[in-house]
Structure 1
Amino acid sequence: MRLRAAWSSACLVRVAHPALSWGITLGLFLHSTDLRRQAERGDLLRPLLFLSLVLCSVLLYFAVSLMDPGYVEQDGDPKETVSEEEKAMISQQASTIRLRRCGYCLLKQPMRARHCQACRHCVRRYDHHCPWIENCVGERNHSVFIVYLAIQLVVLLWALLVAWSGLHFEQPSWAWLHRNLLLLLSFLVVAVFAVVVLLLLACHLYLASCNTTTWEFMSSHRISYLRECEAENPFDQGVFLNLWRFFCASRLVTWENLYAEGEGSAM
């Protein structure tokens, strides 16, 4: 019963996002905005580009919502295996790091993993569980999540300008309010979402540049491998390398190696 309720809630949230996106887009074209005037003149480049960005944001939303965020499947997960050359590079200090066993699913957690009670899985490089995408943000989908936020912010800011272009302010009257109510509400909703997405994007870009996560940033005093380490952030390798590995790495990382290096360099 609980699982069915969670599934129905997830479906409802995932339907709400495209419905809201396309509903606001339709409202922008129904009113006398710049996009509608350009479409009526036959200048279709900007209207089609705007529609393409909305479609891209919706597809990215479903991608980050439905993809595996980095679930820990089992002890010695084959997805996490490394080559013989990489094994030879693992320091003796890293090999002696004790990994904890999850108290919920009883799996041995890789470093930086955490159990999500909403998803009922341990997630590698756990960042947070996002109720808007009804999924965890972890090692596999964190970079996609940031790209989604960036595209969504562009769409929202553009929609804000388009909605503003259709609000022809006159002397306040019930007739004007009735005529522009939908566009005015769309403007306010888009403005609120734009501020939220901007703050989220700035926050996650900062976290990625430092090679840390929301969970580690907010709860460093509760996390044993951070509390016991002399280095403030043992995973930080500099802004450029952090961002390069975050956005361009195509495989899972053995965080115990970086932890051992960071802890060793601080001693």
Structure 2
Amino acid sequence: LQDVRKRVMWWFPFFAVYTIGLIPELSIAWYYKLILALLAAGFWKFLNMFFFDERLMNIIPVSVYLSSKIMMFFTWFVYLVPYVEMTWTKTILFWLNTVLLCYNFYMCWKTDPGFIKSNREQKLQTIIDLAEKQTLTLNQFCSTCLIHRPIRSKHCSACDKCVAKFDHHCPWTDNCIGAYNHKYFIGFLLFLLFMLSWCVHGTLAYWRVNCPFDIYEDGITGILYKVLRTSPWVFWVGTNAMIHIVWVTVLLSCQLYQVVWLGMTTNERMNHGRYKYLYGNFSESHGQGHNRRGHGHGHSHGPSGESKQKGQNPFDRGPIRNLVDILDFQFCGLIRPSRIDWMNLYSLPGQTPPPLGKMNFGVARENYQFV
């Protein structure tokens, strides 16, 4: 039964996205459209009542992304291409962007972000170190995975695993963003932004020919009337693309600012005060949540904890080197990324782990596991 629920929830966004645009587009009387809309709403209520499961809601964003992007490509070829002057250069760039977008999305979706694995013997040894030898504090210990967490790692409650250099959990790719797929996430956002721009460009070209308007003469209501009367489908797709451009631009800008300019993960920027290693005081950090390992993990991109002073973050190598590191780009030995094994880094590069004091059992769970 759960497998059926999962399939229904996966395919529902495809039905919803196309129904919203298709019903107004049909060449039938308005009351027939109203009847179809009511039937679609009733079908949604039926599925929501008998098939939707809140525990499986994490699969919805990926399905929404795929359905909306397939809809945009369909609209591009069926509605918009005849109105866009596609030279050979534009055609090559369009298909190159499409291939790179699909590649980066797939790699971001399916690549292991850096899930930290351990066998039974390693888990037992970690517990012994914690309980008997007192060579490990609770801030270094994940009580869910029963492992010794590397620096900059964090436990993801959505994936239920600890992730190396965790940035955040992205619902749109149904995967964590960590050490091994962060570059694909940035590439995904970049080429998605280009694709959305193509869609908006085609939409404006379509309107320019089929329903030319002037903001001063028609006003907002007049423009809406013209574009909706011409093609509700194109309006629906174009509006989606314009809205998506806003959040994709904001997310990409925040990502680049954090990883390139600050040299930080999203989690570290959100919880800057928790991580003393960002100030170069790792030797004093074992008393704070996540101190010894804090791979980032939060999805919000707000400004909290942004009081980074230049030179304090030991992982900040400057904007150019930070960009090279995150993209893992190298060129003939002239450009080389930093090769750090984030799965096994338990102290700052070039430093030995500081001596640990008495275990602090008063650390709240949310301070070291959840953002």
The answer to whether residue 349 in structure 2 is matched with residue 258 in structure 1 is yes
The answer to whether residue 143 in structure 2 is matched with residue 103 in structure 1 is yes
C-alpha displacement at 1:66, in angstroms? 1.2
- Maintained 8 Å contact 1:153/1:198: yes
CA 1:199–1:236: 2 relative to 1, 3 Å: same
- Maintained 8 Å contact 1:234/1:259: no
C-alpha displacement at 1:23, in angstroms? 0.8
Q: How far apart in 2 are the matches of 1:176 and 1:115?
A: 48
**Alignment match of 2:241 (pick from 186, 190, 212):** 190
- Maintained 8 Å contact 1:28/1:183: no
- Per-residue CA shift, 1:116-156, capped at 9, x if unaligned? 01001000111111111111111111111111111111111
Structure 2: stretches of 5+ with no match in the other structure: 7-52, 120-134, 283-310, 329-336, 355-371
C-alpha displacement at 1:109, in angstroms? 0.3
**Alignment match of 1:24 (pick from 46, 53, 72):** 72
- Maintained 8 Å contact 1:68/1:141: yes
CA 1:227–1:257: 2 relative to 1, 3 Å: closer
Q: How far apart in 2 are the matches of 1:221 and 1:259?
A: 23
The residue aligned with 1:215 is: 267
The answer to whether residue 205 in structure 2 is matched with residue 165 in structure 1 is yes
Q: How far apart in 2 are the matches of 1:196 and 1:124?
A: 26
CA 1:259–1:52: 2 relative to 1, 3 Å: same
- Maintained 8 Å contact 1:57/1:151: yes
Q: How do residues 47-86 of structure 1 correspond to structure 2 at under 5 angstroms? A: 47=91, 49-74=93-118
The residue aligned with 2:251 is: 200
C-alpha displacement at 1:27, in angstroms? 1.4
Q: How far apart in 1 are the matches of 2:118 and 2:142?
A: 11
SS in 2 for 1:73: coil
- Maintained 8 Å contact 2:183/2:327: yes
Q: How do residues 80-95 of structure 1 correspond to structure 2 at under 5 angstroms? A: none
| TM-score, L = length of structure 1 | 0.75
Percent pairwise identity: 24
SS in 2 for 1:257: coil
| TM-score, L = length of structure 2 | 0.56
The answer to whether residue 325 in structure 2 is matched with residue 242 in structure 1 is no
Please tell me whether Structure 1 or Structure 2 has the larger radius of gyration of its CA atoms: 2
C-alpha displacement at 1:53, in angstroms? 2.4
Structure 1: stretches of 5+ with no match in the other structure: 76-95
CA 1:137–1:184: 2 relative to 1, 3 Å: same
The answer to whether residue 175 in structure 2 is matched with residue 132 in structure 1 is no
C-alpha displacement at 1:10, in angstroms? 4.7
Q: How far apart in 2 are the matches of 1:145 and 1:47?
A: 25
- Per-residue CA shift, 1:9-37, capped at 9, x if unaligned? 45443333232112112113322x3x224
C-alpha displacement at 1:7, in angstroms? 8.5
SS in 2 for 1:221: helix
CA 1:259–1:181: 2 relative to 1, 3 Å: farther
C-alpha displacement at 1:180, in angstroms? 2.0
SS in 2 for 1:237: coil
- Maintained 8 Å contact 1:60/1:144: yes
SS in 2 for 1:70: coil
Q: How far apart in 2 are the matches of 1:24 and 1:105?
A: 41
SS in 1 for 2:72: helix
The alignment of Structure 1 onto Structure 2 pairs a total of residues equal to 241
C-alpha RMSD of matched pairs (Å) = 3.6
